[in-house]
């Protein structure tokens, strides 16, 4: 027979996280620590975003205006357009991988510290 009782707690009393007020959110947003977190994100994301968009637009422009170049065979039936198109996929996955490493080492620890302090405030 099943019961609707909550499972027993594991050692000690259970506490719910503190729900921060609007003022606490504003205070954290204006803090130097949050500024460092935002700067760490922006210094990584903005340059890579600009680089990837530039790389994508170059590919599109070459496809539209440099058909002879893009049709140049590299080997077999593989031409420049196919190689650059596959390069688009490769760079997308590399950027995602680099970002996950950056977030895990630089962003997540700072964000977790801010979150813990906010939820632990009384």
**What's the pLDDT score for residue 116?**
86
Counting residues of the chain whose pLDDT is more than 90, the rounded percentage is 61
Give the CA count within 13 Å in the CB-facing half-sphere of 19.
0
**11's torsion region: left (phi>0), alpha (psi -120 to 50) or beta?**
left
Contact 109, 40 (CB under 8 A): no
**What's the pLDDT score for residue 21?**
79
Residue 120 to residue 59: CA distance in whole angstroms: 50
**Which one has a higher pLDDT value, 64 or 17?**
64
Query: What is the average pLDDT across 50-67?
Result: 95
**What's the pLDDT score for residue 65?**
96
Query: What is the average pLDDT across 83-99?
Result: 95
Which pair of structure tokens corresponds to residue 57?
Answer: 């637009």
Which pair of structure tokens corresponds to residue 97?
Answer: 């991988």
Query: What is the average pLDDT across 25-31?
Result: 86
**What's the pLDDT score for residue 117?**
85
Q: Tell me 9's DSSP state.
A: P
Nearest to 99 by CA among 56, 60, 31, 43: 43
Cα 42–Cα 94–Cα 64 angle in degrees, nearest 5: 95
Is 0.85 topped by the overall pTM?
no
Domain spans in the chain, listed from the N-terminal domain onward: 33-120
Query: What is the average pLDDT across 76-100?
Result: 95
């Amino acid at each position: 027979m099943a019961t609707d009782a909550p499972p027993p707690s594991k050692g000690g009393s259970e506490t719910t996280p503190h729900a921060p007020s609007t003022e606490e959110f504003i205070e954290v947003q204006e803090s130097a620590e949050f500024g460092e977190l935002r700067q760490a994100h922006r210094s990584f994301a903005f340059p890579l975003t600009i680089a990837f968009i530039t790389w994508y637009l170059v590919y599109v422009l070459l496809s539209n205006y440099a058909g002879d170049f893009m049709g140049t065979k590299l080997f077999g039936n593989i031409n420049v357009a196919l190689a650059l198109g596959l390069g688009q996929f490769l760079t997308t996955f590399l950027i995602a991988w680099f970002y996950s490493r950056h977030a895990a080492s630089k962003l997540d620890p700072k964000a977790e510290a801010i979150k813990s302090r906010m939820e632990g405030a009384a």
